[in-house]
Chain A
Amino acid sequence: MFQAKDIMTSPVISIDPEKSVFYAAEYMRKNQLGGLPVIENGNLVGIITSRDIRLSHPNRLVADAMTKRVFSCAPSDTVWDVAMVMDKHRVERLPVVKNSTVIGIITKTQIQKKMGQMYDPLTDIYNSAYIYQVATRLLTEGHEICVILFDVNNFGKINKKFGHVYGDSCLKEISKVLHEYTDDECDFICRYGGDEFVVVTLNKISAAKQLAAKIIDKIAFHTSKVGVPVTVSAGICGGHRKYARDYNNQYKVIENLINKASLASTQAKTLNKKYIIY
């Protein structure tokens, strides 16, 4: 659902390098496109964009006007990977290449739309779709990950007693704490759903435990300081599941880790503990 192959435009409208820039401009106008992959003998040799066209004489060959250094992605790359490549190289479109053949193309607009679906406007952090993307990438890169799931204690009662606006304020404050006390380099946070927040961390389980304990304390302290006191429980799982390059396997591994962390947090609540390690 969040791989390049799921969002790419296919089949691809492309152009031959021996066509003129004038022809390319007309072709792009007719097809309402801002860029075309340039394909010669079945191989991707460049990409011509409206910017290239603006800077080139209309008589020139596409081969002489195109951008020759083309960045591409694989069909199995995640939306997150694609966004990073686009951002790093400042490109607006990325051909999707499989076995040296262009099978699709992805534009920045498509990526932004998809990324928007991974964003939670209430708490100003990403949602569960994001955490699956990140965790998949980390597993692909061969990292071991730990999942910490934070669950607000008695959130239903808080909502009923003080109203949903109050409940929303609690969630916003929790996300602020998560932002402040996690490390962008190795911790990845999201609002998983409702009153649940997930941190995927590259830390080992012992460090993850310390991180969970610190965040639990900071949430209690910070929320009461700003007048919306809540406490959270946490479940921790992971540290031993490095995995396979297969996307479906990775997805199952992540689901499994999150599920176990969720069960652990429920158990922590039941046993009146701050956190439980599954």
Chain B
Amino acid sequence: MDTNDKKSGNRKANIQMRFSDFDLPPMQDVLLIGKRAPIGPEAVRRMVDALAPGQYEVIPVENSQIEAMAVKSSLFNWMSRDTLINTILEEGIKLVNDKSIIKATLEITISIYKEVDV
């Protein structure tokens, strides 16, 4: 057995494959963009315009850490714009530094209790 045969005989590779749907765009409901993050709001805007046109809104933020946030536009149908933005920011600020990009999922449930005459 020559040297090459020895090498190929001793090396094996295992391949594991997982298939799943690719998120388009590769973000969820909200993306918080740090001021010094590797991608900025303009890059995010161009990305969502190309991959999910009209579905996200990129909103500039006045904050020392966060430069902007991208929010799925349909979320604004559930509650007022200011309430939603302020709520996301209030919690997001605790997790973000100026170099990070954080994605977030939002589940909004509306609870209604009504009494009606029978």
- Which residues 39-61 of B sit at the A interface, judged by CB distance below 8 A? 39-43, 46
Number of interface residues of A (CB under 8 A): 11
Contact B42 A17 (CB under 8 A): yes
**0/1 string, B71-103, CB within 8 A of A gives 1:** 000000000000000000000000000010000
A202 to B8, CA, bound (A): 93
**B38 contact set on A, CB distance < 8 A:** 57, 59-60
Query: Most chain-A CB neighbours within 10 Å: which of B36, B37, B42, B99?
Result: B42
CA distance A57 to B40 in the complex (A): 9
Residue of B nearest to A59 (CB): B38
Distance, CA A60 to CA B38, complexed state (A):
5
Interface status of A63 (Cβ within 8 A of chain B): yes
A56 within 8 Å of B (CB atoms) = yes
On chain B, the residues within 8 Å of A61 by CB distance are 39-40, 42-43, 46
CB within 8 A of A59: which of B39, B41, B42? B39
Tell me, yes or no, whether A79 is within 8 Å of chain B by CB: no
CA distance A174 to B24 in the complex (A): 77
For B1-15 the 0/1 string (1 means CB < 8 A from A) is: 000000000000000
Chain A residues, CB < 8 A from B39:
57, 59-61, 64
* B42 CB contact (under 8 Å) in A55, A57, A63: A63
Q: Which residues of A contact B40 (CB under 8 A)?
A: 56, 60-61, 63-65
**Bound CA span A275–B69, Å:** 70
Q: Which of A17, A59, A60, A65 has the most CB of B within 10 A?
A: A60
- Complex Cα distance, B46 from A65, in Å, reads 15
CB of A64 within 8 A of CB of B36, answer no
Chain A 172-206 near chain B by CB (<8 Å), digits 1 or 0: 00000000000000000000000000000000000
Q: Specify the chain B residue showing the minimal Cβ separation from A61.
A: B43
**B37 / chain A contacts, CB cutoff of 8 Å:** 57, 60
Interface residues in chain B, defined as those with a beta carbon under 8 Å from any beta carbon in chain A: 36-43, 46, 99
Given A63-B43, A64-B41, 6 more pairs with CB closer than 8 A: A17-B42, A18-B46, A60-B39, A61-B39, A61-B46, A64-B40
| 11 residue pairs bridging A and B, Cβ less than 8 Å apart | A55-B36, A57-B37, A59-B38, A59-B39, A61-B39, A61-B40, A61-B43, A61-B46, A63-B43, A64-B39, A65-B40
- A-B CB proximity, top 3 nearest: A64-B40, A63-B42, A59-B38
Chain A residues at the B interface, C-beta cutoff of 8 Å: 17-18, 55-57, 59-61, 63-65
